[in-house]
Amino acid sequence: MAKLLVDFELSHGQEKVTQGNIVIVDINPGKSNLHDQVRKLIAEQFNCSAGIISIKEIKMNN
């Protein structure tokens, strides 16, 4: 399991973009669909659709 620091954007509307970052713990980064896992977790956290989330960067945080 790993601790990840994720920079992301939420696009909600034509010109409305919210930038943020979040720390995710207890995730398996070895899986091939890491971006999908992270988008789903962020969507659950912010109660929104995963389709409006763009992952800018994922860093391993020790």
Rounded Cα distance, 4 and 37, in Å: 12
Rounded Cα distance, 19 and 33, in Å: 22
Q: How many domains does the chain have?
A: 1
For residues 23-36, average pLDDT: 82
Average pLDDT, rounded, for the chain? 87
Tokens 């939420």 belong to: 10
Tokens of 11: 């696009």
Give the pLDDT of residue 28: 75
For residues 37-55, average pLDDT: 92
| Structural domain includes residue 17 | no
| Structural domain includes residue 16 | no
For residues 7-11, average pLDDT: 93
Residue range of the domain that includes 41? 2-8+23-60
| Cβ neighbourhood burial of 43 (10 Å; 0-12, 13-18, 19+) | middle
Residue 56 predicted with pLDDT over 80: yes
| Structural domain includes residue 41 | yes
> Confidence class of residue 33 from pLDDT cuts 50, 70 and 90?
confident
